[in-house]
Amino acid sequence: MAPASFKAGFVQFDVRTGAVADNLAEAEARLAHLADEGAALAVLPEMWSCGFDNANLDQHARRTPEILERLSRLATRHRMVIGGSLPEREGGRIYNTLYLLDADGAVAGAYRKVHLFSVTDEHRYFSAGDRCVVCPTALGPVGLMICYDLRFPELCRTLALQGAWIVIAPAQWPDARIDVWDVLARARAMENQLYIIGANRCGMENNTRFSGHSIIVDPGGRILAHAPGGVPCTGSAVLDQGSLQRIREKVPALEERMPGVYDL
């Protein structure tokens, strides 16, 4: 049975393009820190192992099974559910795939990013996923989104209706639009009355600055943890199913939907 409450956290760091060994070392150290703090769930940034090293994605994707094995050992050692996106190769295509490892080290589920960010030509290097994913885990059902997906309320609503009470969102969201990230994370949490955990990167890549702002938001829209701008760090907060249920009972918005009026 899933615990009624537990600590969850995010990992924020400067994802170095193509530097897999360095990124792995950083992620592992910060996951260990969250484990020492008692976190049962941790979220890594988008494409955390290699960044958007688009010219070498096929090479990086071939290493993803090896990286998942290392994450599996960490999940088992720390009894921690761990999520983060990595390049996936299948059938000659590359996907930006969010893997969620359960606390026993097994892959609880994988979600291929549906909404590719055309502004940075993601569609030229990646294929789009075609389904929503809610994963059964030791902590209950967890919904999966990646970065740009936050701009599409239909996806998060579908995850909520499929039973997710937590949605995780690894990201590489730039500083130029970081105010949008903050607003959308809170909006998705409030309108679906669930917890949002957004793990964003920090640092510089070419001329683009990433300021982090990794965030945990409760089902009422209250920010429980928010990372300082531009600083590698971890953050955590307690997620509580009882609190979620009280919010949903006080304002039964999900029950009072009228899908026949506005479903597209």
Domain boundaries, the chain: 5-259
Closest CA to 43 of 232, 209, 200: 200
Q: Check whether 120 has a pLDDT greater than 80.
A: yes
Active site residue 7: no
Q: What is the pLDDT of residues 78-116, one digit of tens each?
A: 999 999 999 999 999 999 999 999 999 999 999 999 999
In words, the CATH class of domain 5-259 is: alpha beta
Helix (H, G, I), strand (E, B) or coil at 8: strand
Distance CA 198, CA 183 (A): 12
Compute the Cα dihedral for 27, 33, 39, 40 and give only its sign: positive
Count CB atoms within 10 A of the CB of residue 209. 15
**pLDDT of 53:** 97
Q: Which of 46, 88, 132, 156 is catalytic?
A: 46
Q: Check whether 220 has a pLDDT greater than 80.
A: yes
**pLDDT of 2:** 86
Q: Check whether 212 has a pLDDT greater than 90.
A: yes
**pLDDT of 62:** 97
Interval 117-130 mean pLDDT: 96
Sequence-separated (6 or more) residues with CB below 8 Å from residue 9 = 34, 37, 39, 41, 42, 43, 197, 216, 225, 234, 235, 236, 237
The rounded mean pLDDT for the chain is 97
Distance CA 70, CA 220 (A): 36
**pLDDT of 1:** 80
Q: What is the largest CA-CA distance in the chain?
A: 52
**Residues 236 and 9 sit within 8 Å (Cβ to Cβ):** yes
Active site residue 46: yes
Active site residue 147: yes
Q: Which of 88, 113, 132, 202 is catalytic?
A: 113
Q: Check whether 150 has a pLDDT greater than 70.
A: yes
**pLDDT of 262:** 87
**pLDDT of 228:** 86
Helix (H, G, I), strand (E, B) or coil at 117: coil
3-class SS shares of the chain: helix, strand, coil, % to 5: 35, 30, 35
Q: What is the pTM of this model?
A: 0.97
Q: Check whether 175 has a pLDDT greater than 80.
A: yes
Residues 167-189 as b/e (b if ≥16 CB within 10 A, e otherwise) read bbbbbbbbbeebeebbebbbbbb
Distance CA 28, CA 247 (A): 35
Q: Which of 50, 132, 135, 147 is catalytic?
A: 147
In this prediction, residue 264 has a pLDDT band, given cuts at 50, 70 and 90, of: low
